[in-house]
Amino acid sequence: MRDQHYATFLGLHQAASPLLIANAWDAASTVLWQHAGAPAIGTSSAALAWACGYADGGPLQAAALLHKVTEIVRVASVPVSIDMEDGYSDDAEDVAALVRQVAEAGAVGINIEDGGAVPSLLVAKIKTIRRVLGDTPLFINARTDVYLRGMASGAAAVTMTVERLQQYAAAGADGAFVPGISNIDEITAVASRCQLPLNVMTVPGLPPLAALQTAGVRRVSAGPGVFQHAFNTGLTMVRQFLGGNLAGGEGSNSQHPSLGYGEINALFARPSAAVD
């Protein structure tokens, strides 16, 4: 099954339209996003860390990460890719050992980032991951934070991004992730000069999907935005409840009616089956 999911995931990056990843963070969001029609499940490192009770940016413990990976894969009927930040270590061997555990748990892809560090560090990690995995297939989506961290702007940002992505491709990466980029001309320039399928993330000002497809984008990630929206909604309901509004609960609107208790429970009664 894992090999089949890997082949499917690889194919999604070569499809006629870009792969849309509505990032999940646990078993519940995985089941619900599948119900919504998600062709693959990818995690947001921030959302997954928050769901485990850690801040984003490195503090997530390996045991907590692997527990989440296991529960997500258990209920997933589509390919799963895990965002691993920078691998949670500067030591390439330690990173590769953790990636191997993630792959053995059933994930068919990972995101791994340079975090704004010198590119040689991520190059070493990718090469070591490939050596440690051997024949085990894994889609490595190499992320550079040139735009996210404001390391350069305009043409200089394009050049720096492309140079880093070319090094990651040579090291064995399968995909290129550039969060923070939103200018369509710069997206086009990066896509045209990088041999890897380009992944961008939803940010204010990101062009429409059709324009991104024309520019050469092959994958779009929602990032932590779905988690933030979901938990902001929950926070609003709890504040209303604590304020004495006892009429809340399931709620609905005409455009997106909420799932009732029975419908949600039914999804989890057969979590590994495809849901119509």
Q: What is the pLDDT of residues 224-262, one digit of tens each?
A: 999 999 999 999 999 999 999 988 665 545 466 678 889
Whether 265 maps to a domain, the answer reads no
Whether residue 27 lies inside any domain: the answer is yes
Question: What is the rounded distance in angstroms from the CA atom of residue 166 to the CA atom of residue 164?
Answer: 5
What's the pLDDT tens digit per position in 79-114? 999 999 999 999 999 999 999 999 999 999 999 999
Domain extent at residue 183: 2-223
Give the chain's domain count.
1
With respect to residue 132, please indicate whether it lies within any of the assigned structural domains: yes
Domain assignment present for residue 230? The answer is: no
Does residue 241 lie in a domain region?
no
Q: Does residue 141 fall inside a structural domain?
A: yes
Cα–Cα distance between 249 and 260 in angstroms, integer?
Answer: 10
Q: Give the list of residues 6+ apart from residue 97 with CB closer than 8 angstroms, or none.
A: 132
Alpha-carbon distance of 85 to 171, in angstroms, equals 18
Q: List C-alpha distances in Å: 72 to 76, 110, 140, 157, 183.
A: 6, 14, 19, 35, 34
Instruction: Return the CATH number at 161.
Output: 3.20.20.60
The answer to whether residue 250 sits within a structural domain is no
Q: Does a structural domain hold residue 178?
A: yes
Contact 69, 25 (CB under 8 A): no
- 36 in Cβ contact with 237 (< 8 Å): no
On the question of pLDDT at 65 being above 80, the answer is yes
Express each pLDDT in 156-169 by its tens digit: 999 999 999 999 99
In the beta sheet, which residues pair with residue 175? 141
